[in-house]
């Protein structure tokens, strides 16, 4: 597998190419990298050209020099596809990668879109909204009057991904999770597949049902023994992908 890089104003992005044939682009989730898809790449590279990348802030790519948005990551993907002169690729996108590729496919052509436990459906309950506003108010007050309490609040707040991230990636994560893909999904007309673990607690199976209700040309394939990583947890995954790739 060849590793190359592409420079943007925000940083350097690593990308990878293996095999020959019709192009398949693999996009990883938040906190992971393309290396997670080594087994999938090995299973496909004899019949397809597999292209992967590490989003800025992950894997062998540099950390961005400013907080990024979903649109920024989508732009990076578009530049890479243009550079490689790829026409109508098939995408396999997991979690955060799904959010990015949905934004991309809204305005660009593709052959097939395989979303694996994709992120992008934003949920805002009354309880969640109250917690967010309370956090923002306390953050402003503590920042003015108590540096110690401010630092303790920041340290204690947020998800595991948020707590483990650098400052620039914390802001990037905030930008990303506030982006809802429902409007983008309405504009996608190409063939789309939703591969989803029934027991997924990160992007729940109910999100798959929401996406299915919005997309126009879609097939939902459940994985009954998986959580958020059905591409790792079930051998069935590669069999289903091969079936999809052979469909006209």
**pLDDT score at 132:** 45
Output the CA–CA distances (angstroms, integers) from residue 60 to 4, 15, 245, in the order listed: 10, 9, 28
Residue linked to tokens 């707040």: 157
Q: Which of 216, 195, 224 is nearest to 207 (CA)?
A: 195
Q: Candidates 3.40.50.1820, 1.10.1200.10, 1.10.268.10, 1.20.120.450; correct CATH number of 2-122+180-246?
A: 3.40.50.1820
For residues 198 and 205, the answer to whether their CB atoms sit within 8 Å is: yes
Q: Which of 31, 14, 37 is nearest to 92 (CA)?
A: 37
Which tens digits make up the pLDDT trace of 218-233?
999 999 999 999 999 9
pTM of the predicted model as reported, rounded to 2 decimal places: 0.86
Domain with CATH 3.40.50.1820 in the chain: 2-122+180-246
Q: How far apart are the first and last CA of the chain?
A: 28
Write out the two tokens for 28.
Answer: 């990883």
Tens digit of pLDDT at every position of the chain (248 positions): 889 999 999 999 999 999 999 999 999 999 999 999 999 999 999 999 999 999 999 999 999 999 999 999 999 999 999 999 999 999 999 999 999 999 999 999 999 999 999 999 987 644 544 444 554 565 677 777 787 766 665 566 655 666 677 889 999 999 999 999 999 999 999 999 999 999 999 999 999 999 999 999 999 999 999 999 999 999 999 999 999 999 97
């Amino acid at each position: 597998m060849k590793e190359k890089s592409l420079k943007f104003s925000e940083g350097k992005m690593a990308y990878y190419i293996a095999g020959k044939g019709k192009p398949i682009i693999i996009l990883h989730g938040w906190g992971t990298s393309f290396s997670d898809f080594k087994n999938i790449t090995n299973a496909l590279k004899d019949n397809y050209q597999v292209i992967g990348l590490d989003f800025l802030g992950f894997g062998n790519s540099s950390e961005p020099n400013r907080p990024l948005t979903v649109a920024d990551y989508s732009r990076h993907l578009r530049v890479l596809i243009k550079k490689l002169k790829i026409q109508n690729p098939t995408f396999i996108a997991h979690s955060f990668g799904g959010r990015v590729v949905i934004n991309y496919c809204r305005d660009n052509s593709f052959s097939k879109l395989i979303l694996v436990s994709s992120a992008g459906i934003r949920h805002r309950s009354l309880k969640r909204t109250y917690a967010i506003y309370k956090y923002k108010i306390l953050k402003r007050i503590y920042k003015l009057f108590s540096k110690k309490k401010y630092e303790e609040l920041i340290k204690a707040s947020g998800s595991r991904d948020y707590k483990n991230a650098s400052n620039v990636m914390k802001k990037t994560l905030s930008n990303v999770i506030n982006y809802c893909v429902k409007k983008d999904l309405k504009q996608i007309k190409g063939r789309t597949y939703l591969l989803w673990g029934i027991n997924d607690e990160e992007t729940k199976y109910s999100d798959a049902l929401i996406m299915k209700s919005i997309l126009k040309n879609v097939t939902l394939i459940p994985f009954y023994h998986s959580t958020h990583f059905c591409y790792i947890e079930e051998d069935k995954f590669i069999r289903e992908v091969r079936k999809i790739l052979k469909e006209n």
